[in-house]
Amino acid sequence: MTVQSRMIRTARIQTHVLERPATGKAVRRVLLVHGNVSSGAFFRDVLEALPDDIHAAAPDLRGYGESEAAPVDAARGLRDWSDDLAALLDALGWADADLLGWSLGGGVVMGLAVDHPGRVRSLTLVAPISPFGFGGTRGPDGTPNSPDFAGSGGGTVNAAFVAAVAAGDRSDAPGSPRDVLRKFYLNPEKFQPTPEQEEVWLSSMLTTRTGDDHYPGDFVPSEHWPNVAPGTRGVANAFSPKYTDLSAFADLQPPPPVLWVRGDADAIVGDASLFDLAQLGALGAVPGWPGAETCPPQPMLEQLRALLERSGANGGESREVVLSGVGHSPFLEAPEAFLAAFTEHLQKERRT
């Protein structure tokens, strides 16, 4: 079936969806949830490659793609997005679904499982953010480095990059959206997109709404390094550990089965992320770093792995697949290996 584009009015917002209906009766319904500075357009190839008996949809989250640019209330953590998805399931007439979440979307689908557990059959987490958000924490349990969660939130985002997104910059200048796509969304040493692919993905990135209510959000000054702390509005504050704590996922009885797929060359999500100011401070790229005892880099992989181990004690099942030479976008960089792991996960869940 051909991928279709349609706008759906839910009980919450106007949501744009790329949809690939099943051929004949659908035996599974799959929702694919994108990450930050992107949209559902990144999933078009996945939609086309899924087995014919799967009905799949890739929505644009609020503030991205063609969906409504409703503001993000960061004090709710990821719930504006996860509640939007629950409303979308209602509008689609789906009682439940298998959910895939990439990067920020990984946190969103975990949050949906916490708040609406009966609607989630399985989770596939693709290069997901930590269950304790992004930046400003230490240890497997997400202990904050400072009481105001300094080092996370809207003030930690590169302002020049945000301005370039807002301006629709299509250049290949250092730090431009195209440059970030090439160097960080993908591992340039192993994967170069076709010109056509790059233009589609860049166009998707440039749909991101910017400002205090969107990306990156507001911030407040802090007495703790790097002297900025989360505000209450917008994207980067919503996934700050001040407002995002998904540790309750491990307490679900039982948690849904989880497939975790990541690349070993991911520079965005990892235990030494180049987007974590503490890691940049340790490398000398951000001045004034107080040292590892006060402000260690966030162990993002360790934190998720510890949570999944906890969920195992409650009957949860998880599998971690690490793809060699792959960066932040396994489904783009290694589509055959990714699709094999993903479809195996869905087929295994189908038999249980």
Is residue 51 in some structural domain? yes
For residue 219, give both structure tokens: 């911030």
Is residue 62 in some structural domain? yes
Confidence band of 348 (pLDDT split at 50, 70, 90): confident
**What string of H, E and C letters represents the secondary structure of 10-45?**
CCCCEEEEEEECCCCCCCEEEEEECCCCCCHHHHHH
CATH number of the domain encompassing residue 27: 3.40.50.1820
The pairs formed by 269-274 with CB atoms below 8 angstroms and a separation of 24 or more are 269/103, 269/127, 269/128, 269/129, 269/130, 269/300, 269/301, 269/328, 270/300, 270/301, 271/297, 271/298, 271/299, 271/300, 271/301, 271/302, 272/297, 273/297, 273/298, 273/300, 274/184
Q: Are 18 and 38 spatial neighbours (Cβ–Cβ below 8 Å)?
A: no
CA distance 164 to 176: 6
| Res 254: pLDDT | 85
Q: Which residue has the higher pLDDT, 351 or 290?
A: 290
Is residue 227 in some structural domain? no
CA distance 274 to 267: 6
Report whether pLDDT(133) > 70.
Answer: yes
Full residue range of the structural domain in which residue 314 is found: 4-148+243-351
Strand, coil or helix: what is 319? strand
User: If we measure between CA atoms, which residue out of 306, 345, 329 comes closest to residue 131?
Assistant: 306
Report whether pLDDT(72) > 80.
Answer: yes
For residue 284, give both structure tokens: 């000398």
Q: What is the pTM of this model?
A: 0.97
Least confident of 14-28, 90-104, 110-124, 133-147: 14-28
Match 């279709």 to its residue by tokens.
4
Q: Return phi, psi of residue 56, to 5°.
A: -125, 145
Is residue 342 in some structural domain? yes
Is residue 30 in some structural domain? yes
Is residue 232 in some structural domain? no
Instruction: Give me the half-sphere count of Cα atoms (radius 13 Å) on the Cβ side of residue 83.
Output: 11
Instruction: List, for residues 167-209, the tens digit of each pLDDT value.
Output: 999 999 999 999 999 999 999 999 999 999 999 999 999 999 9
For residue 306, give both structure tokens: 């510890």
Domain count, the chain: 1
Is residue 204 in some structural domain? no
Match 């998720």 to its residue by tokens.
304
Is residue 34 in some structural domain? yes
| Res 349: pLDDT | 56
